[in-house]
């Protein structure tokens, strides 16, 4: 087993079952000390119990590994990080995995459905990562994973709340990748597909059985290893397939002083993806726009267009 984690400390949120459990077991097997966090509630984000996390800790210890349980909700990230510091003295890896579902059509969605999803997925990932960040910055080392979903990438019927939250996590991770670069803190997004108690409500049983969480575990394990060098990227795993998801922008068309009619007339060119380019950061995109503004200036003889152009929303 060449990818080892000796001396490293990881927090895996929602590690009492499903995907998170497999991450915790695998990291521990490879020498990592693991905080097994799980609120132990149901899949809709209600109730709690300590037994889920305890069982995983027991399993790790029985196999000779080191782990400690934490039962706090991910909203209280500082308590989860405190468990890591109090028991193991450091925190190197955060896998934001805890999740719930409140699937319902948008028409019937309540504010509670919306808020609970954001509380667990977005506020939870924020709170745990935020509490770990100063330690990672000081030690100039950190590996962060957030868990998105194909619903976050493509949207999904009946999951407007979940899809929006899962999409938000990509923005979080991509931003942390940029802020962490100077400090050797890498942040990436995982898009998994696996049979679990979360997906058994939306997948037929044969698919739930076939899509083993263990197909996802090797990717996550590599994503939080020392030797991993990517940051600000999205990686996907499911059914034994591993890949990456990237944003490409069409070459588009530059039209000076366009009217809506010009946009309509040129629609097929604007949206043609032949020769589309990968744009990695907002800085690259801003630079692109500034150079276009300069072309406008050059062709119109004006001199004010590009001054003050910067990155932004
Ligand atoms: P799961 O329900 O088996 O595991 C989620 C775990 O999170 C549970 O053990 C639960 O008790 C825990 N949890 C829930 N709320 C919590 C909170 N507030 N604080 C701490 N722990 C909490 O589900 P699964 O499938 O393993 O999901 C893991 C992650 O992967 C989730 O973020 C989910 O949205 C995401 N995901 C899963 C997919 C799949 O196909 N299974 C697809 C796309 C994303």
pTM exceeds 0.90 for this model: yes
Tokens coding 264 = 């309509």
The answer to whether 9-245 and 248-300 have equal CATH topology is no
> Which residue lies with its CA nearest to atom 8 of ligand 1?
14
- Partnered with residue 241 across adjacent β-strands are 238
ipTM over 0.85? The verdict is: yes
The predicted-structure confidence for 101-156, as pLDDT tens digits, reads as follows: 999 999 999 999 999 999 999 999 999 999 999 999 999 999 999 999 999 999 99
The predicted-structure confidence for 255-272, as pLDDT tens digits, reads as follows: 989 999 999 999 999 999
Using the atom order of ligand 1, give the atom closest to the CA of residue 150: 43
> Which residue lies with its CA nearest to atom 23 of ligand 1?
198
Binding-site residues, ligand 1, Cβ < 6 A: 13-14, 16-20, 37-41, 43, 45, 52, 73-74, 97-100, 120, 124, 147, 149, 192-194, 196-199
pLDDT of residue 202: 83
**3-state DSSP assignment of residue 202:** coil
Higher per-residue confidence, 177 vs 311: 177
Using the Cα atoms of residue 59, residue 60, residue 61 and residue 63 in order, give the sign of their dihedral: positive
d(CA 252, CA 104): 37
Those residues with Cβ within 8 angstroms of residue 203's Cβ, 6 or more apart along the chain or in another chain:
195, 211
Ligand 1: centre distance to CA 294 (Å): 48
Q: Which CATH superfamily is domain 9-245 in?
A: NAD(P)-binding Rossmann-like Domain (3.40.50.720)
Domain boundaries, the chain: 9-245, 248-300
The highest-level CATH class for domain 248-300 is: mainly alpha
Q: Among 11, 156, 196, which residue has the most ligand 1 atoms within 8 Å of its CB, making it the best to mutate? A: 196
pLDDT of residue 26: 98
């Amino acid at each position: 087993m060449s990818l080892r984690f000796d001396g490293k400390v990881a927090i895996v949120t929602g590690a009492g079952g499903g995907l998170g459990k497999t991450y915790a077991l695998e990291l521990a097997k490879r020498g990592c000390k693991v905080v097994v966090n799980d609120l132990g509630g149901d899949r809709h984000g209600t109730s709690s119990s300590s037994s889920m996390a305890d069982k995983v800790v027991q399993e790790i210890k029985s196999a000779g590994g080191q782990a400690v349980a934490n039962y706090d909700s991910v909203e209280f990230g500082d308590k989860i990080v405190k468990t890591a510091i109090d028991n193991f003295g450091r925190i190197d890896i955060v896998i934001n995995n805890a999740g719930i579902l409140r699937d319902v059509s948008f028409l019937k969605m309540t504010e509670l459905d919306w808020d609970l999803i954001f509380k667990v997925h977005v506020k939870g990932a924020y709170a745990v990562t935020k509490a770990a960040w100063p330690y990672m910055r000081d030690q100039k080392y950190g590996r962060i994973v957030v868990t998105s979903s194909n619903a976050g990438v493509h949207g999904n019927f009946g999951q407007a709340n979940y899809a929006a939250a899962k999409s938000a996590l990509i923005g979080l991770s991509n931003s942390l990748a940029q802020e962490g670069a100077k400090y050797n803190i890498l942040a990436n997004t995982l898009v998994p597909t696996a049979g679990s108690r979360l997906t058994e409500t939306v997948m037929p049983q044969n698919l739930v059985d076939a899509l083993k969480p263990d197909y996802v575990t090797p990717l996550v394990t590599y994503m939080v290893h020392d030797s991993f060098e990517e940051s600000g990227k999205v990686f996907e795993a499911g059914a034994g397939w591993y890949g990456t998801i990237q944003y490409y922008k069409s070459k588009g068309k530059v039209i000076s002083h366009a009217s809506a009619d010009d946009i309509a007339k040129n629609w097929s060119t604007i949206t043609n993806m032949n020769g589309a380019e990968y744009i990695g950061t907002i800085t690259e995109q801003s630079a692109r726009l500034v150079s276009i503004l300069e072309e406008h200036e050059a062709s119109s003889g004006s001199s004010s267009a590009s001054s003050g152009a910067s990155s932004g929303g």
